[in-house]
A and B are shown apart, each in its own frame.
Chain A
Amino acid sequence: MAADPSGAVTDADVKLVPTVGVLEGGTIQQIYRHREEITVQGPDTDGDVPVTFAQTYQNVPMIVFKGGQYVSFSGSLGNGAGIKQRLRLQVLDPTASGFKSRTQIANPGAMTPQSDDFVGGALNGNDGAPGVGNTREADLNPGGANDDTYTAHFTVFVEAHSAIGAHFATLVIAIDTNDGLGGPWIERATRSYNVGNTSPGTHNQTWSGEAVGVTVSGLGLNDDVRIRIKSFSVSGQSPDGNYTVTPLSPGVTYTTAADTVESAIPSAGDSVTWVAQEVS
């Protein structure tokens, strides 16, 4: 394969652009890096089982549910006409090194919607002043989501430009949490946003109403969720670029309730399988 002046590896109509992805036609496909399959086996008394990945990923990977054999109904949680039991198949406390596999049956109490806003306005940056490390934080009040899930809401705009040729811009946003145990922030999710083209011009895209959910145990009153600019880069031929990340209102949404919960993998032979995969 040849490489053009922007560093892109070219082959007919498909281009591999370092740090950006595979460009085919006008579509940028992010690059698959690594994946692994994880099987969590019962018995487990509460259904929350810690998992460590075979290797540490660069970012928190996507973790998807593949299947398994698990309990889907429990008579001890009640079986009256008004009772609707829920299965909770959740990626709990995700990081780049692992997570907790949550496999539970829940009988939720009456759920109360909660929301807390990010403080401060939009986050802006460009190739000259990339604003990497800038954040917007939301203090949780009351916190304590009944399913431990908190969803961050924001809108992303990314633009790249070149008057003479290829131009690409890549913005990576992290969602971090802080459980109040002395200060360390933990990256819980990342999202990558790419725009660009191999021809001169300006290309941009807006991702409206992004909703990134993170499931994290132990977050309570005054604990924090933040949006962080993890990286911003431009590449190509004399390229420039910029971005805007606008927190929405409500900024972080979740529900509170008094739940009754049981393990959904209480016996030997019960299991649940996940697939972790990172793209970039």
Chain B
Amino acid sequence: MKTWASDQGLEPQSQTIDRDAGEGPPRCCGRRLVAADALVCYDELAPERLVAVLERLPHLKGVTPLYLCDACGDLIIREAVVTREDRALDFGLGQDVVDKARDLDRKTARVSTSPS
């Protein structure tokens, strides 16, 4: 997967991006400090899946390039907006990764939450 760290050639790749200071790509959420190698580029996602991602995260419509932090990337997987397998296929990853991704794909939830 392409990350902000790999795309920018950063060293160390895990350096902290301070998004309040304007560092990194257009931000995906309110988190301030994110590791550069945890910011994944989703521009290569298939168009129909990109539409689904933007329906779930509508505040990201028009954001380009589209990088998601580890928390947002996990959100769309956790909620089955995109499966790990589809993401791996769209990103052109190897068959071993696709196979493992398929194994890790799980089910959806019945949950209620309430801030207190």
Binding site for B on A (CB under 8 A): 34-41, 44, 46, 48-58, 93, 95-98, 100-101, 132-135, 172, 174, 176, 179-187, 217-218, 220, 226, 228-231, 275
Contact = CB atoms under 8 A, between A and B. Distances in A.
A203 B14 CA distance: 29
A56 B6 CA distance: 25
A263 to B, nearest CB: 12
A134 B70 contact: no
B16 A37 contact: no
A186 B103 CA distance: 18
Nearest to A137: B14
A185 B39 CA distance: 9
Contacts of B1: 182-184
B60 interface: no
B70 A132 contact: no
A50 B33 CA distance: 24
16 contacts: A35-B115, A35-B116, A36-B114, A37-B115, A37-B116, A38-B113, A39-B111, A52-B111, A56-B75, A57-B71, A95-B71, A96-B31, A101-B111, A133-B16, A135-B12, A187-B71
Contacts of A96: 31, 69-71
A185 B111 contact: no
Interface in B77-94: 78-79, 84, 88, 91, 93
Contact of B16 (A40, A132, A218): A132
Contact of A184 (B32, B33, B38): B38
Contacts of B72: 56, 97
Contact of B115 (A36, A49, A50, A93): A36
A56 B71 contact: yes
Contacts of B14: 133-135, 176, 185, 226, 228
Interface in B15-73: 15-16, 29-33, 35-38, 40, 69-73
A12 B16 CA distance: 37
B65 to A, nearest CB: 16
Contacts of B109: 40, 49-51
Contacts of B112: 38-39, 41
Contacts of A38: 111-114
B104 A218 contact: yes
Interface residues of B, number: 47
A181 B3 CA distance: 13
A182 B37 contact: no
B88 A181 contact: yes
A228 B70 contact: no
Contacts of A179: 100, 104
Contacts of B38: 176, 184-187
A155 B13 CA distance: 24
Contacts of B35: 133, 174, 176, 185, 187, 228, 230
Contacts of B79: 50, 52
Nearest to A46: B107
B111 A51 contact: yes
Contacts of A54: 113-115
Given A36-B115, A180-B97, A186-B70, A98 B37 contact: no
Contacts of A184: 1, 3, 37-38, 40, 70, 73
B74 A93 contact: yes
